[in-house]
Amino acid sequence: MIEPVVLVHGGAWGVPDAWVDKTIEGVKSAARIGYDVLKSGGSALDAVEAAVRSLEDDEYFNAGRGASLNLAGEAVLESSIQRGSDLEAGCVTLIKDFPHPISLARKVLEETPHAFIGGEGAKQFGIEQGFDMVPQSSLVTNAAKEELREFLKSGSIGNSADTVGCVVVDCNGHVAAGTSTGGTAGKYVGRIGDAPQIGNGTYADDFVGAVSSTGHGESILKFSLAHSIIKQMEVGDNAQDAATKCINGMTDRLKNTGGAIVVSNKGDVGFSFTTNRMSWCYVKAEEIHYGIDPNQHLKDAY
């Protein structure tokens, strides 16, 4: 038996000072929700889904309601989830009508022979699976509109909000990972990033561990970030060293920033980011650990 861990991130980006408290509150709440699912007998996949759903509901994060907007002013959501026991995965992209793409991705994993469905097909699938559609306007916040206005003025994604994710190992060493995003502010209509892609945004393998990525999507997918971290662990790095090496490697090579959270199948934790901030939180051994600034590591009793 190993000590179970639920580790979440709220995106690697330049979180403004005014959002720091709300962001930390959000990742702590999500990690607790995931851990409670594990404690009450849920699977690693159940815990990932529950934690990510809570971040999708929280408008301080770029996922679900509060997602960054594309050039047409729409929230267009993407997500992926993977189960480490058998590598089964579900991914969705170009989602405009459902507030919880992580749950839709899980249905792709469980109910289809496919791994990845996008756009109109994903919408039809969601309807068939009984998901309630919501008006697009319910996903769009004033802060996201303001972020898009800033992008259109400056022409750069600069401080664009980014992505949420969760990695879990249960007491039997089964791992799972999930990632959810609205992508980058001012993205082209039809642009797809790293977050819904296995090996880039998400990876989970019981033989090694689980990863969720965040940051500049085009760089993450060129670098195959999530699977690069897994490969480093396969050759002997612990979760922290693998995360640090690959995040720094991606930033050195592609000159763009990002972050990742990692858990090994033994319960070792790793997280790293080259952005100004990344909110993260994990629960392990009845303690809650969290932070947002570089080298910050705070701890509370659970």
Residues acting as catalytic residues: 163
- From 32-40, 69-77, 135-143, 213-221, give the range in contact with ligand GLY by CB under 6 A: 213-221
Closest distance to ligand GLY from the beta carbon of 136 (Å): 19
| SS3 per-residue string spanning 122-172 | HHHHHHHCCCCCCCHHHHCCHHHHHHHHHHHHHCCCCCCCCCEEEEEECCC
- Note the Cα 84 to chain centre separation in Å: 16
Q: Is 260 in the site for ligand GLY (CB under 6 A)?
A: no
Q: Is 194 in the site for ligand GLY (CB under 6 A)?
A: yes
Q: Are strands 89-95 and 116-118 parallel, antiparallel or unpaired?
A: parallel
Pick the closer one to ligand GLY by CB: 36 or 150. Answer: 150
C-alpha 84/C-alpha 298 separation (Å) is 29
Pick the closer one to ligand GLY by CB: 83 or 216. Answer: 216
Pick the closer one to ligand GLY by CB: 107 or 216. Answer: 216
The enclosing H or E element of 60 equals none
Which positions from 145 through 184 interact with ligand GLY, judged by CB under 6 A? 162-163, 181, 183-184
Closest distance to ligand GLY from the beta carbon of 155 (Å): 17
Q: Is 212 in the site for ligand GLY (CB under 6 A)?
A: no
Find where tokens 């851990």 sit. 35
Tell me how many residues contact ligand GLY (CB under 6 A).
12
C-alpha 8/C-alpha 127 separation (Å) is 29
User: Nearest to residue 278, comparing CAs of 252, 254, 253, 244?
Assistant: 244
Q: Is 42 in the site for ligand GLY (CB under 6 A)?
A: no
Strand partners, 204: 210
Q: Is 214 in the site for ligand GLY (CB under 6 A)?
A: yes
Closest distance to ligand GLY from the beta carbon of 86 (Å): 26
- From 115-123, 132-140, 212-220, 243-251, give the range in contact with ligand GLY by CB under 6 A: 212-220
User: Nearest to residue 162, comparing CAs of 4, 6, 19?
Assistant: 19
Closest distance to ligand GLY from the beta carbon of 31 (Å): 20
User: Nearest to residue 279, comparing CAs of 292, 264, 294?
Assistant: 292
Q: Is 215 in the site for ligand GLY (CB under 6 A)?
A: yes
Residues in touch with ligand GLY (CB under 6 A):
162-163, 181, 183-184, 193-195, 214-217
